[in-house]
Amino acid sequence: GESVGLHLPTLSVQEGDNSIINCAYSNSASDYFIWYKQESGKGPQFIIDIRSNMDKRQGQRVTVLLNKTVKHLSLQIAATQPGDSAVYFCAETSGGGADGLTFGKGTHLIIQP
């Protein structure tokens, strides 16, 4: 069936460097995408979202890029900090944000001091 998947299960970066987490999706009907951050023992926490009519959206230290041609989503985190260490999930839905999300498997981001 259609799914959302991640290329790398673990990503290790130096503190202060930029990190890029990638995600591939296969549902061409997806129209809304969200990145979540999950710390150990906690629920997923919203980071940033993007609609399918956009290809880039920026937040505070984070940028999401969407390439609908190749069904690819990425999360860029600038100047990583120790608090950025977590598992990052991409999620998609085809209901305009109103329906349940399909999550990727997650990427574990490790920030090296």
**Can you give the binding site for other proteins, defined by CB under 8 A?**
32, 34, 36, 41-46, 49, 51, 89, 91, 96-106
Q: Which is nearer to other proteins, 17 or 24 (CB)?
A: 24
Phi-psi domain of 47 (left: phi exceeds 0; alpha: psi -120 through 50; beta: other)? alpha
Q: Which is nearer to other proteins, 17 or 100 (CB)?
A: 100
CA distance 16 to 36: 21
Instruction: Give the containing element (helix H, strand E) for 10.
Output: strand 10-14
Name the minimum Å distance from CB 5 to other proteins.
10
Q: Which is nearer to other proteins, 85 or 103 (CB)?
A: 103
